[in-house]
């Protein structure tokens, strides 16, 4: 059996008085698309940052292809393609200059970099914006630039923090296809999302994260078996597992009062 590309064990992270992660354990194998689903503030971004070495764990361990991000940051970064929740791009550079800059940091030969960047830009329909300053691009276009930048060095692991946010239908489809192709070649993808249908259709496994730990994990069928009701959607299941089902019903009642009761008065 092959070794995991990502392995997190009993991770905890404390930000001052906030306990963001409370003992998070999971692994992602080559060929897997692992979706992290969780309410706002559950710890998805913190988990992704810990794997990438952008934040240090308070306790527990994490490895990428066997390397520890705190001890071997270069090995880890060279294996990861990362798209942040809010990608940081250099607004004053053009897309072309920015991608060339990324390729040079990654020490990729110019000919190879130009070929990969051109193909990706073509696929995402970004060639016509290549010489425009990044500052002038729309939100979705910036997201595409961040995605292209994450793929330039052809890493085995993709860490994508809500990769579809801001993308139009065509580009979302493209990203989903890209994720599938990446894993068919033996790579691994870990992504966070709030879009249930994406998780349902794309992930080989889903981890539901709540208050800093994985509270349920498995294929869609395995998760559905947990509640014993095959007719439940992933959304039903998610709300149940994160104790938000009753809360949503209460809040909907409050909204109903705000919108309709006042009219009757
Ligand atoms: N740098 C920080 N300093 C202090 N608290 C932080 C910091 N980063 C995250 N947190 C806290 O850690 C918890 C987890 O945050 P995180 O960003 O990981 O959640 P998330 O699951 O990605 O949420 P969302 O769905 O809104 O993106 C939250 O309570 C958040 O306020
Ligand atoms: Mg987040």
**pLDDT tens-digit readout, 9-24:** 999 999 999 999 999 9
Centroid of ligand 2 to alpha carbon of 187 (angstroms): 23
**Which pair of tokens denotes residue 3?**
């070794």
Q: Hey, which of 12, 20, 161 would you mutate to test ligand 1's pocket, going by the most ligand atoms within 8 Å of its Cβ?
A: 20
Mean pLDDT, residues 99-106: 92
pLDDT for 94 beyond 70 = yes
Mean pLDDT, residues 80-109: 91
Centroid of ligand 1 to alpha carbon of 55 (angstroms): 12
In ligand 1, the atom with minimum distance to the C-alpha of 55 is 1
Q: What is the pLDDT of residues 173-188, one digit of tens each?
A: 988 988 998 999 899 9
**Which pair of tokens denotes residue 219?**
């294929």
Ligand number nearest CA of 41 is 1
Q: Of 37, 2, 70, which Cα lies nearest the Cα of 190?
A: 37
pLDDT for 213 beyond 90 = yes
CA separation for the pair 67, 80 (Å, rounded) = 12
CA separation for the pair 146, 81 (Å, rounded) = 10
Cβ–Cβ under 8 Å, residues 56 and 49: no
Ligand number nearest CA of 20 is 1
Output the residue whose Cα is nearest ligand 1's atom 25: 40
CA separation for the pair 265, 261 (Å, rounded) = 7
Pocket flag, ligand 1, residue 46 (CB < 6 Å): yes
Mean pLDDT, residues 106-114: 91
CA separation for the pair 5, 66 (Å, rounded) = 7
pLDDT for 62 beyond 60 = yes
CA separation for the pair 44, 212 (Å, rounded) = 8
């Amino acid at each position: 059996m092959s070794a995991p590309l990502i392995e997190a064990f009993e991770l905890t992270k404390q930000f001052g008085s906030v306990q963001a992660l409370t003992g998070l354990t999971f692994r992602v194998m080559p060929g897997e698309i692992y979706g992290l689903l969780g309410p706002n503030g559950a710890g998805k971004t913190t988990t992704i940052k810990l794997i990438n070495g952008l934040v240090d764990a308070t306790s527990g361990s994490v490895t990428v292809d066997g390397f520890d991000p705190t001890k071997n940051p270069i090995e880890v970064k060279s294996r990861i393609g990362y798209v942040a929740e809010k990608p940081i791009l250099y607004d004053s550079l053009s897309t072309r200059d920015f991608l060339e800059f990324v390729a040079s940091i990654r020490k990729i030969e110019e000919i190879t970099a130009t070929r990969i960047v051109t193909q990706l830009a073509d696929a995402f329909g970004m060639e016509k914006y290549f010489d425009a300053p990044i500052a002038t691009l729309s939100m979705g276009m910036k997201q595409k630039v961040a995605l292209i930048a994450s793929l330039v060095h052809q890493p085995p692991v993709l860490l994508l923090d809500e990769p579809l946010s801001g993308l139009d239908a065509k580009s979302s489809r493209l990203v989903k296809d890209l994720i599938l192709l990446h894993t068919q070649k033996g790579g691994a993808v870990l992504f966070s999302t709030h879009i249930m249908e994406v998780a349902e259709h794309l992930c080989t496994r889903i981890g539901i994260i709540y208050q800093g730990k994985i509270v349920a994990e498995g294929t869609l069928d395995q998760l559905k078996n947990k509640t014993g009701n095959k007719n439940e959607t992933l959304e039903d299941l998610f709300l149940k597992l994160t104790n938000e089902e009753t809360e949503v019903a209460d809040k909907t009642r409050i909204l109903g009062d705000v919108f309709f009761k006042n009219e009757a008065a």
